[in-house]
Structure 1
Amino acid sequence: MKDKMIKGKKLLYILFSIALAIPFTSCLDDLNTTPEGPNVSLDPYADASNYPMLVAKVYSGFSKLGITGPDGDGDIPSSPDKGKTTFLRTYFNVQELTSDEAKCAWSDTDEKNYSQTLLTPDNYIGYMLYQRCMLNIVFANEFLRNTQVPRVEVANLDRSRAEVRVLRAMNYYFLLDIYGNPGWVTEEHPVTRLPQQLGREGMFNWVESELLDIEKSGLLLDQSASTYGLITNQVVQTVLAKMYINAEVYTGKPRWNDALAYAKKVTSYSNLQLEGTYQNLFCADNDRSKEIIFTLPYDNKMATDWGGIVFVMASSTGGDMLSLLDFTASWSGNRATQQLTNLFAGNDKRALFFKTDRDQIMTDLSNFNKGWSVMKFTNKGWDGVPNPLGAVQWVDTDYPLFRLADVILIQAEAELRLGDANAVNSYNKVHAHPRTGLSAVTSITLQDILNERGRELYWEGQRRTDLIRFGKFTKGYNWAWKGGAQNGVDIDDKYNLLPISTKHLTGNPALVQNPLYK
């Protein structure tokens, strides 16, 4: 297996780890953003050598490298479970457990309610995802505020500021998608200003304007091996494509032409290529892939994090699977619904499920063996080569947040909605790629697009958003345990958005709850 600790990636991990010690002040009373760590200057912006770490601090908000393991208190010390404070763990649960793809067997009230798509303002998962994204925004605002007028000469500071603005916009994009009308604050506002709401369309317009402005600036780099894990032009274009394909949900106004235009910018970029072997996208060497556009990087030494990729893998793993994954943590929680596994034809090589001693039909929500287990993520290397470290608890696998196949399917969907005959060709680039083992088709429907997105992108944090866009989330399509019933029932339309938590409403009187939850 190729040594993952290549120079560029090793530096990224080191910077992320050291950056956790850099102090930041907070504009949110309930966020303690001064984690313990080595002594640093009272003004870290006065030393040019600190700047890579200051930028890495903002990046680390998505991965939270090295701070929620056995020796880390995390950057939200009031939490009883540091592993539940991370972006990936909360985002995965929101997007997957509420959908037709995954359910959790644990007795925890939060996971149990989300597995039944029953969402309340006091669910800890929803509270913490909002908290995490807003804390990431605090870090970004702090950096941007302190670098508006440079205190020292710093190489490529304009590019760093552009990267931080994109990271902030991405956090707002996730809040827009999940909560609809979150609070909003930037570096232009006083530190003491509480976040105000812009409305869902107003938030969409602000995020769009930020990303378009950065794209036009020419400050960012294009995707290459040296930009792995970093913000690039293609990341910006991907987020815009995803926003435009969902624009009708967010604003009431479809933007199919814009979705197509931005998807094409990404799919036409020659340095991005579909991976030849599907599981190579989710293995310990996946940093080698030219398909991944933006990843959350993890490592077995510098990213010992209970809430990142270890959570995704361990929560999906039973003890009888461990030897197949080069992994030792087994939490027996999440597994696939029959609605997910039924999407796959018998010869589809993307169907990475463990079936031994498991029933496909999920007749019992609390029994891990009711529902096939997912083996998509592994700590083995490229093309299944054993990890030279052997079976370990902390893994080298990165989590692909955005990748090329997603954008190709966005292009196919936009083309189909616009009546463009090229839609079937775009669809077949994914569906009939050699890695799937499937044959090309001659015609497609929107349901085919949704089904293909399920087969290609399962357990990658896409499904809730997709079901809402296709009008399948609350009514007209049911799945195991939706609404608390074994075979699923229709649910209230209010669940198309998560509620803003009672804690955030109490802590910030400027916020108002999503209307249907009142």
Structure 2
Amino acid sequence: MQQKFKYLIVIMLFSLGVISCHEDLNQSPIDPDSFTEEDVFSNATDAQGALAKLYASLALTGQQGPAGQADIADIDEGFSQYSRMLFNLNELTTDHAVVGWGDAGLPDLHGQYWSGSNDFTEAMYYRLAQEVSFCNSFIDNAAILTDTEVAAYIAEARFLRAFAYYNLMDLYGSVPLVTQVTTELPEQATRTELFNFIESELLEIADDLKPSGSNEYGRVDQVAAWALLSKLYLNAEVFTGTPRYAEAVTFSNNVMSSSYTINTNDANGNGTAYDELFLADNNTNGAQNEFIFTLNFDGLRSQTYGGSTFLVHAAIGGSMNATEFGVNGGWGGLRTTKSLVNKFDVDVTTLNPNLGPVSNWGIIGDATPNGWNDPDTKMYETGTDTYAIYANLTPGELKFRRDGAWTVNYGDDTVDGTLEAGGANIPVTVAGTYYITLDLNSLTYAIAPFVGDSRGMFYKDGQSLEIEEIPTFEDGYAVTKFKNLDSNGNQGSDAAGDFVDTDLPLIRLAEIYLNYAEAALRGGGGDLGLAVTKINELRERAFGNSSGNITSGDLTLDFVLNERSRELYWEGQRRTDLIRYNYFTTDAYLWPFKGDSKDGTSVEDYRNIFPLPNNIITTNPNLTQNQGY
């Protein structure tokens, strides 16, 4: 399909508000090597190539590789790519990310002080408007074909148009609703009207899309329509004022009952199957079974300075070694705030009760929480004469003892993992969280660093947790989530290391698990026991075992929001989630440099949506700018 992108010639519309058309453009070309819509839509095979353009419009930026013949004017071409814009608008505006670059309009996003002339909010509007126009043209032209498979192609195009409108509605509120190529200036649709259109489109096309898992990788099927409905209904109260959580539960359950599965294949053998989702071979390493809708990238055949190329290069700086990420260098820009990092802190008080009942054995010493003073830090009974505890230790020493007294105690004379009654103190050299076990059957013990939630992938060497100055790359931890390495550690296909192979999931099954849990908690019905089971499925992948599992008592709305942050960070979800919780603009939740304040502050609630581009307002008198702008 990639080879056919250049053959699609459609009317290039740069906004929903400005449409131009001339009759002389409808004439057949004199050059016999030129392609027209008549050629592209002459049969189903050629139409499939045109369909590829609709997918490519979200992944790529023009007609000539990473730069040259851009789809959108007046902005750096690499900046204008869809998922890069999604990151800028939905992640950079939140606690998940900061960027050190000073490009005009970019610092405004994290500081939440953008205006109607912001280049990045404008570029995203144009990108999505272009996708709508491409889809409209395809749907109109493909309708003349009678081949049976074309119905599915049209359904895919309608899905992509609905997806574009979902983004427009989420980001900008009220925008024109255009479903056909026209020369008339369109009227502005309300958010409710947009919601109803998206809902009806997805419901109508679901049965025309291919069944679960039966389409080519990278193309949507019936489950994608259900998944987008799940997202739509979860946010319905924000979009329309009317909650639709019962429907969110229903369609989330449809997705969870489909052929898609959470990836559990630890292809690189590092103890977790989470990182496989963001490696260069995530189209084949098992991660693809979790991906419902993706943007596909290839370092040789579909090059862009957005997409995963942006996420990998831009997050490398400081003392980081770019070759460890499969690229030739870093751009020294993206980092995260302590608000995200701290969500991965280990809370031993919640982990320990899952081990078993409190025992009469404990640890004592200056390496332990209570030092050499009473009381001992109690261990938990995991079996007959076996005990364990998760504990935060500091450099020092410890011993095991029973009943808080020195009558029965054990140490290690030779520091070999075997115990002697009354033996020497056991040294701890590095502070951290540890999993400590005691086996009185064999008189052995282990003090192993606790890995915890492996989803927290941060580079800390030479980086400070606190951000004093955003432009300084060393201020804030770097994120190592995305790599251009396959599961065997090999670099992606571009030997030069410029462009990245890693595909980006726009919707994956893990998100739908979390949609189900939240909608159920918000009164949508469903099974809270099932919600706990599904979240534990994600956490067992993250922890490598059941140590991070939760119970029904842990399942609260704030827990789900934090779990969404841990599971989905840097995947373009965060702003939408914070708005749904009324945290995005208010002082109920603050993060560093929110509202352009070092410690964070609230901002006006009109910033829950972005402005329409000022030049669109000027050109189309039917449009009204969003309040506050």
Residue 197 of structure 1 aligns to a residue whose secondary structure is coil
The answer on whether the counterparts of 1:27 and 1:192 sit within 8 Å (CA) in structure 2 is: no
Larger helix proportion of the pair = 1
The answer on whether the counterparts of 1:97 and 1:103 sit within 8 Å (CA) in structure 2 is: yes
The answer on whether the counterparts of 1:103 and 1:335 sit within 8 Å (CA) in structure 2 is: yes
After superposition, the Cα gap between the structure-2 partners of 1:32 and 1:428, relative to the gap in structure 1 and judged at 3 Å, is farther
Match of 1:483 in 2: 595
Match of 2:103 in 1: 108
Residue 11 of structure 2 aligns to a residue whose secondary structure is coil
The answer on whether the counterparts of 1:176 and 1:203 sit within 8 Å (CA) in structure 2 is: yes
1:27-176 equivalences in 2 (<5 Å): 28=15, 39-41=34-36, 43-45=38-40, 47-48=42-43, 49-64=45-60, 67=63, 69=65, 71-76=67-72, 78-150=73-145, 153-176=146-169
1:181 aligns to 2:206 (yes or no): no
The answer on whether the counterparts of 1:63 and 1:298 sit within 8 Å (CA) in structure 2 is: yes
Which of 502, 508, 521 is the matching residue for 1:397? 502
Match of 1:473 in 2: 584
Which of the pair has more CA radius of gyration? 2
After superposition, the Cα gap between the structure-2 partners of 1:69 and 1:261, relative to the gap in structure 1 and judged at 3 Å, is same
Match of 2:362 in 1: none
The answer on whether the counterparts of 1:285 and 1:381 sit within 8 Å (CA) in structure 2 is: yes
Match of 1:421 in 2: 528
Residue 541 of structure 2 aligns to a residue whose secondary structure is coil
Residue deviations 1:300-324, cap 9 Å, x none?
1111111222112222111623021
1:255-404 equivalences in 2 (<5 Å): 255-276=244-265, 277-288=273-284, 289=287, 290-318=289-317, 320-345=320-345, 347-382=452-487, 384-387=489-492, 392-404=497-509
TM superposition shift of 1:100 = 0.7
Match of 1:239 in 2: 228
Q: In structure 2, how many angstroms separate the alpha carbons of the residues matched to 1:205 and 1:436?
A: 42
Residue 92 of structure 1 aligns to a residue whose secondary structure is helix
1:209 aligns to 2:194 (yes or no): no
Q: In structure 1, how many angstroms separate the alpha carbons of the residues matched to 2:491 and 2:77?
A: 31
Residue deviations 1:118-148, cap 9 Å, x none?
2211101100101110111111111112233
Superposition TM-score, scaled by structure 1 size: 0.90
The answer on whether the counterparts of 2:91 and 2:97 sit within 8 Å (CA) in structure 1 is: yes
Residue deviations 1:453-479, cap 9 Å, x none?
000000000000000001111111110
Q: In structure 2, how many angstroms separate the alpha carbons of the residues matched to 1:382 and 1:197?
A: 48
TM superposition shift of 1:27 = 8.1
After superposition, the Cα gap between the structure-2 partners of 1:323 and 1:512, relative to the gap in structure 1 and judged at 3 Å, is same
Residue 247 of structure 2 aligns to a residue whose secondary structure is helix
Q: In structure 2, how many angstroms separate the alpha carbons of the residues matched to 1:162 and 1:136?
A: 15
Match of 2:436 in 1: none
Residue deviations 1:207-251, cap 9 Å, x none?
101111111xx2211332752110111111110000101111111
The answer on whether the counterparts of 1:326 and 1:391 sit within 8 Å (CA) in structure 2 is: no
The answer on whether the counterparts of 1:294 and 1:400 sit within 8 Å (CA) in structure 2 is: yes
After superposition, the Cα gap between the structure-2 partners of 1:472 and 1:436, relative to the gap in structure 1 and judged at 3 Å, is farther
- Structure 2, unmatched stretches of 5+, are 26-30, 266-272, 347-451
Q: In structure 2, how many angstroms separate the alpha carbons of the residues matched to 1:349 and 1:366?
A: 28
After superposition, the Cα gap between the structure-2 partners of 1:68 and 1:371, relative to the gap in structure 1 and judged at 3 Å, is farther
Larger strand proportion of the pair = 2
TM superposition shift of 1:387 = 4.6
Which of 1, 4, 9 is the matching residue for 1:22? 9
After superposition, the Cα gap between the structure-2 partners of 1:27 and 1:83, relative to the gap in structure 1 and judged at 3 Å, is closer
Q: In structure 2, how many angstroms separate the alpha carbons of the residues matched to 1:515 and 1:183?
A: 16
Residue 344 of structure 2 aligns to a residue whose secondary structure is coil
Match of 2:548 in 1: 439
TM superposition shift of 1:430 = 1.8
After superposition, the Cα gap between the structure-2 partners of 1:206 and 1:46, relative to the gap in structure 1 and judged at 3 Å, is closer
Higher mean C-alpha deviation, range 285-294 or range 58-67? 58-67
- Counterpart of 1:59, as a letter, is Y
Superposition TM-score, scaled by structure 2 size: 0.75
